[in-house]
Amino acid sequence: MKHVKLILCLAVLAFCLTACSKGNKDITVDVDKLADELQSQAVTSDTLTKTSLDLSSIYFVNDDQMEKGAAYLSNASTACEVAVIECKESSQAEGVEKLFKTRVSNQSNLFASYNAGEVAKLDKAIIKTAGKYAVLCVCDDTEKAEEILKNYGF
Amino acid sequence: MGTKKKRKRKPQNNMLVLKLLVLVVIVLVLFEGKLIYTMFTQGTSSTVTVSSSSSESEKPQNLENEPLSPSAEAVTDSGNSVADAPLAGLSIAVSGASASTALQADQETEDPYRISEEIDSPAVVKEQETAIDDSYFSDAVFIGDSRMEGFRNSSGITQGTFLTSVGLSSSGMSDATIASPEGNISVYQGLSGIQYNKIYLMLGTNDLGYYPWEDFLPNFEKVIEQFHKLQPDAIIYICNVIYVEESKVSASYNNNENVRKINGYLLEICETYDYCYYLNLNEIFTNGYGSLIEDASSDGVHLYEYYCKQMLDYLKTHYVDLPASADITSEAEETSNTDGIETEEDK
């Protein structure tokens, strides 16, 4: 009986640990669709443009780690931006998350002396990972962005 | 019985009235025909005259000796025709409208408040007949402030290296403001190591209101000289400072008078250094009165996507090619640039 209880406890513990680790979620996301939804519904103060540049030149993600990516950027009048990157492997999403954090930090420093009002948006920047995906969203309506991301499994 | 009587009498009455009317008409035509003819012709010709006079008032002097349009000729030819007169009047009205449009165009060109953006200087990059494609930018580095960053983000450009940061000014070239895979670096650091053939520089917006103004020129010259030292084979395209929409800008020094002042310095630099070329972007961004096109920007400074794309188109038709860099350019560039290449000798 004791063994059974122990096995059950271990099983529950293992289940909890797996459930808590969002990064290991096995989800499939339409990168372009998610990026578009975030920029069109959560960004209200600016009209972002889907960039045609290689995302590695903006976020410095290694090309050999990135499966696909989509980014909407501002004309620099605001700090708003949306980036969704699909990595080749789940383990690489964490690295992209760090790059996103660096990006937000840099932008905060620059906007602080240039357009301080935008720093508040950067302070509330959403950076999330799930499975092979990493998302950066600097926007006006963070609640809406969170809602969208939740629907996508983040 | 009563109805039968009415049926018999009514046609007789109608016939009588009809006969009387015909008689009256015949009498009138016979005795007053000339008068009626005169009434009609005078009435229609007066309509034409009114139309003509109203169009005459709008017609500019220089159009008087111009050959008549087919419609105007028809008016002259059929001026005495009663049937054609109303149409002729309409033709004149239309002709008057076109004259009015021509007048409006003339007024615009003669508007004393309009500011021409034409610059007569060999340092200004002229428009080429053949547009180059994005591959021209593969060996180019774009350096600049938020406006250049906006261009990167919104123009649709697919090639080129960008060393940009919001708030960058000519005095901030040594500051570590440029994000790179190795952390933040300065523009000078970004120019070290890799050799470029073209440098596109867009600075000055954050230097508006530079104090004291006299120091701006020597400081900017130092930047240019340092760029040339780091990239001796590169030509430097200096974009002039794009106008602002003053009503949307909060800082008072961000005004178009200062833009013109700073652009004067930038042109001077391009005329001094033979590797520098002046890109007169305000050719396409002026509203005609020395200000940014209305509603080209949400904040009066940063251009919307549409205008960033226009700027890219401008860069594709405004370029120079040097014999030194021609060897380095790819075959694709060479084939696309065979026509209308401006060389350094032309400067």
- pLDDT tens per residue across span B130-143: 999 999 999 999 99
What is the spatial distance between Cα B267 and Cα B280, in angstroms, rounded to a whole number?
9
A52 min Cα distance to partner chain B (Å): 5
Whether B35 shows a pLDDT value over 50: the answer reads no
CATH class of B134-346: alpha beta
CB contacts < 8 A, A to B, total: 64
ipTM: 0.83
Other beta carbons within 10 angstroms of residue B24's beta carbon come to: 10
How large is the average pLDDT for residues B39-51? Answer: 37
Q: CB distance B179–A73 less than 8 Å?
A: no
Kindly indicate the confidence band of residue B211, based on its pLDDT and cuts at 50, 70 and 90.
confident
Whole-number Å distance between alpha carbons of B226 and A29: 47
Neighbours of B176 (CB within 10 A): 15
- Per-residue pLDDT, A17: 47
Q: Which chain A residues touch B if contact means CB-CB below 8 Å?
A: 46-47, 49, 51-53, 57, 60, 73-77, 102-103, 106, 110-111, 113-115
A9 is a domain residue = no
Residue A35 belongs to some domain of the structure = yes
Statement: residue B166 has pLDDT above 60 = yes
Mutate to test the interface with B, among A77, A81, A109, A140 (most CBs of B within 10 A): A77
> What would the pLDDT profile of B96-131 be if each residue is shown by its tens digit?
334 444 444 555 557 888 989 999 999 999 999 999
Maximum average pLDDT range among A133-142, B58-67, B176-185, B208-217:
A133-142
Among chain B residues, CA nearest to A118 = B166
Pair type for strands B235-239 and B276-279: parallel
* E strand or H helix that includes residue A23: none
Would you say residue B262 has pLDDT above 50?
A: yes
Average pLDDT over residues B323-336: 42
Question: What per-residue confidence (pLDDT) applies to B113?
Answer: 85
Domain-located, residue A2: no
Please judge whether B305 and A75 are an interchain contact, meaning their C-beta atoms are less than 8 angstroms apart: yes
Task: Provide the pLDDT for residue B21.
Answer: 72
CA distance B235 to B222: 16
**If you average pLDDT over every residue of chain B, what do you get?**
75
For A48-70, the pLDDT digits (tens) are 999 988 899 999 999 999 999 99
Of all residues in chain A, the one with the smallest CA distance to B249 is A77
**Contact criterion met (CB < 8 Å) for A49 and B305:** yes
In-domain check, residue A122? yes
User: Residue B235: beta bridge partners?
Assistant: B198
CB contact under 8 A, A60 and B298: no
Give CA torsion, residues B245, B246, B251, B255, to 10 deg: 100
Q: Which of B93-97, B130-134, B166-170, B198-202 has the lowest mean pLDDT?
A: B93-97
CA angle B74–B80–B81, rounded 5-degree value: 75
How does DSSP classify residue B145? S
Residue A106: closest C-alpha in chain B: B179
Q: Please state, for a pLDDT cut of 70, what percent of chain B lies above it.
A: 63
Q: What is the pLDDT of residue B158?
A: 94
Looking at residue B58, its pLDDT comes to 33
Contact A49 B153 (CB under 8 A): yes
In a mutational test of the A interface, the residue from B154, B180, B248, B254 whose CB has the highest number of chain A CBs within 10 Å is B154
Give the angle A119-B303-B291 at the CA atoms, nearest 5°: 120
> pLDDT value at position B87?
31
Q: Average pLDDT, stretch B142-150?
A: 97
pLDDT of residue B209: 83
Residue A60 domain boundaries: 22-151
What mean pLDDT comes out for the span B212-224?
94
Question: pTM value?
Answer: 0.71
The reported pLDDT for the residue numbered B109 is 59
Sign of the C-alpha dihedral computed for residues A30, A32, A35 and A41 taken in this order: negative
Structure tokens at B181: 């895979």
For residues B249-268, average pLDDT: 94
Chain A: give the shortest CA distance to residue B309, in Å.
Answer: 11
**Which of A74-78, B13-17, B62-66, B155-159 has the least mean pLDDT?**
B62-66
Q: Per the domain annotation, does A16 fall within a domain?
A: no
B150/A76 touch (CB, cutoff 8 Å), yes or no: yes
Q: Is residue A8 assigned to a domain?
A: no
In a domain, A129, yes or no: yes
Taking residues B262-288, report their average pLDDT. Answer: 97
The alpha carbon of residue B160 is apart from the nearest alpha carbon of chain A, in Å, by: 9
Give all strands of the β-sheet with B276-279 in edge-to-edge order: B161-164, B140-144, B198-202, B235-239, B276-279
Q: Which chain B residue lies closest to A56 (C-alpha atoms)?
A: B181
Instruction: Report if residue A11 sits inside a domain.
Output: no
CA distance B63 to chain A (A): 47
Number of domains into which chain A is organized: 1
Rounded to a whole number of angstroms, the distance from the CA of A104 to the nearest CA of chain B is: 11
Q: Residue ranges per domain, chain B?
A: 2-110, 134-346
* CA–CA gap between residue A67 and residue A32 (Å, rounded): 13
